[in-house]
Structure 1
Amino acid sequence: MTTETRHQVDVPLPLARLLVLGAQHVLVMYTGCVTVPLVFGAAAGLDRTTIGLLINADLLVAGVVTLIQALGVGRLLGVRLPVVAGATFTAVTPMILIAGEYGLQAVYGSMIAAGVFGLLVAVPFAKVVRFFPPLVTGVVITVVGLSLIGVAAGLIAGNDQTAPDYAAPSHLALAAAVVVVVVLVTRLARGFLAQLGVLVGLVLGTVAAIPLGLTDFSSVAGAPWLGISAPFHFGAPHFPIAAVISMCVVMLVTFAESTADMLAVSELTGKPITSADLARGMAADGLSGVLGGIMNAFLDTVFAQNVGLVGMTRVRSRYVAAAAGGILVVLGVVPKLGEVVASLPGPVVGACGLVMFATVAAVGVTTLRAVEYEGTDNLMIVAVAIGVGLLPVVAPRIYQNFPAWAQIVAGSAITSATLVAFVLNLLFNHGRKTSEKC
Structure 2
Amino acid sequence: MLTTKISGWGRYPVQSCELARPERYADLGPHAESMIARGQGRSYGDAALNENGRVILTERVNRLLELDAAQGILRAEAGATLAEILRVIVPKGWFLPVTPGTKFVSLGGCVAADVHGKNHHHEGSFGEHVVNLEIILAGGVRTRCSPTEHAELFWATVGGMGLTGIIGEVTLKLIPIQSPIIQVRHHVAESLEQMFRLMQDATTDDRYTVAWIDSMARGTRLGRGVVMCGHHASKDELPSHLHRHSKAESSLTIPFDFPSWMLNSLSISAFNALYYQKEGSKSKSFLSSYAPYFYPLDSIGAWNRMYGKRGFVQYQCVIPDNNSFNGIKALLQKLSNSRRPSFLAVLKRLGAASKGLLSFPMAGYTLALDLPIRDEGLFALLNELDEIVLHHGGRVYLAKDARLSTESFRAMYPRYEEWLKIKNKVDPENKFSSSLSRRLGIGSEAV
* TM-score scaled by length of structure 1: 0.24
Which structure dedicates a bigger proportion of its chain to strand?
2
Which structure dedicates a bigger proportion of its chain to helix?
1
Higher relative contact order (CA 8 A, sep 6+): 1
* TM-score scaled by length of structure 2: 0.23
